[in-house]
Structure 1
Amino acid sequence: MNIRPAIQVERMKEEHKVAVSELLLQGFCSKLQLGTGLNNAQLQWMLERFLVLDEQRGEGQRMVAVQEGSVIGSLSLQFQSRSGEPRRSTTVMDLLSMWKGIREVGWRKALGFAVRLACLSHRPGCGELYIADVSVHEKFRGAGVGKTMLEWVLREAASRPGIRYASLHVSGSNVGAKRLYDRMGFRTLKAQRSTIMKWLFGEQEWNYMIQER
């Protein structure tokens, strides 16, 4: 009988950032390249820099799933800051800290990327632990990596004082992911259809799902 090596879920470290940006590129390139003109190398560079910005804000945590020393999955958790102020959305001003690289990518492409991140962002409410994204390496999809990470999130939500529910958004076309979330106890609180989101990402329907403690 084959025994799969254990999957560990841990906080992202500096040495994980390149691998995580590659995962995000695999999972979201079709959505983030649409209308921006970014090639794969440019998009990965932008994603890697925004990983740094998210860590600096201190209002979220980037977690990774590691198996035998390799990063095979990642997710981002967001929550209200300790001051109680909602998490700040990604803005064009964030691009100023990356001025040199942005000049090489091009401001039009960078601006298109920032606008799309802003539209995908969510401001967690009181008692909400928001899963901003989930990515699994293409070679490990269907092997239980996503389920392992979600189980970790739900345990984390249960252990945090003040957290009443976990939440996430999933596009209507992502049937496999929604099926997993259903099995994990999430329910659709709101289904939204947006012409703007269709234009930006090629996805018109988005489901906001929650799992209450």
Structure 2
Amino acid sequence: MTTSIQIEPVCPQFHQAVAELMAYGFGHKFQKITSLSITDLAYVFEQLLNHPPIEQSTLRVIARENEEIVGTMCLKWKEADNRVAITSVRANPHWWSQCNRVGMWKLLQLITGLHLLKHTPKLGECYVEDLVVHPQHQGKGIGTQLLQWAQKYMLQSKSMSSLSLHVASQNHQAIQLYERYQFRKQYSTNSFLTGLLLGENQWHYMIYKGDSYV
């Protein structure tokens, strides 16, 4: 079953709902190393949305069904003018001060996990930094619609030539979805640290370049 949704850039009024969605969607990875509750993770993610890194080349969108946020996705790319973007959450003192209530050590552990998942796009590359669908709305084609939106966004941009992402090698369902929409695996990486801290050590890097890409 495919649900008709509206995809639009996120605005501040939806930050709390998006943060809760992110916490439920992939917070389990960070719970392993931080022992933060879902509530605390959602709070930290909300503050990160309220005080984002100083980086212009990102776009977060939401999938909205009526007034309910059922999915979110973040795209990231490199600016053609080679401006230096400050991407580390450590560069934003407001984030630190707001999140200090959950504990400095836990924050440092969370930052470590985020850094391990970080990818710096090359010029012309549009990177799917995260894609999350609400647990109660999975299986409705929402993730597919977000993915198709990202593909269209990349193809309509004159400065972008590919759409890329990383996926855990154990996530066979996601891999099959990406392959169905013409993503092709470029290579795999093995990381002892991501395996130890996040529970997933092997990742596939996949790229989509349009209908003619084989």
State the TM-score, normalized to the length of structure 2.
0.91
**Where do residues 3-14 of structure 1 align in structure 2 (5 Å cutoff)?**
6-14=4-12
Residues 92, 115 of structure 1: 8 Å contact kept? no
The DSSP-based 3-state class of the residue aligned with 1:156 is helix
Per the alignment, residue 118 of structure 1 pairs with 115
Per the alignment, residue 80 of structure 1 pairs with 78
CA change 1:119–1:88 in 2 (3 A) is: farther
**Where do residues 49-198 of structure 1 align in structure 2 (5 Å cutoff)?**
49-54=47-52, 57-85=55-83, 87-94=85-92, 96-198=93-195
Residues 10, 60 of structure 2: 8 Å contact kept? yes
Count of matched residue pairs: 210
CA change 1:107–1:137 in 2 (3 A) is: same
In 2, the alpha carbon distance for the partners of 1:180 and 1:86 equals: 34
* Structure 2 residues not aligned, in runs of 5+: none
Identity %: 28
State the TM-score, normalized to the length of structure 1.
0.91
In 1, the alpha carbon distance for the partners of 2:10 and 2:120 equals: 22
Deviation at 1:5, TM superposition (A): 5.9
In 2, the alpha carbon distance for the partners of 1:165 and 1:21 equals: 28
Residues 89, 122 of structure 1: 8 Å contact kept? no
- CA-atom RMSD, angstroms? 1.9
In 2, the alpha carbon distance for the partners of 1:143 and 1:48 equals: 26
Name the amino acid aligned to 1:61: L
**Where do residues 32-43 of structure 1 align in structure 2 (5 Å cutoff)?**
32-43=30-41
Residues 81, 87 of structure 1: 8 Å contact kept? no
Listed one character per residue, the Cα deviations across residues 111-161 of structure 1 (whole Å, up to 9, x for unaligned) are: 111111111111110100000000001111111000011111111111000
Name the amino acid aligned to 1:121: K
Deviation at 1:73, TM superposition (A): 0.6
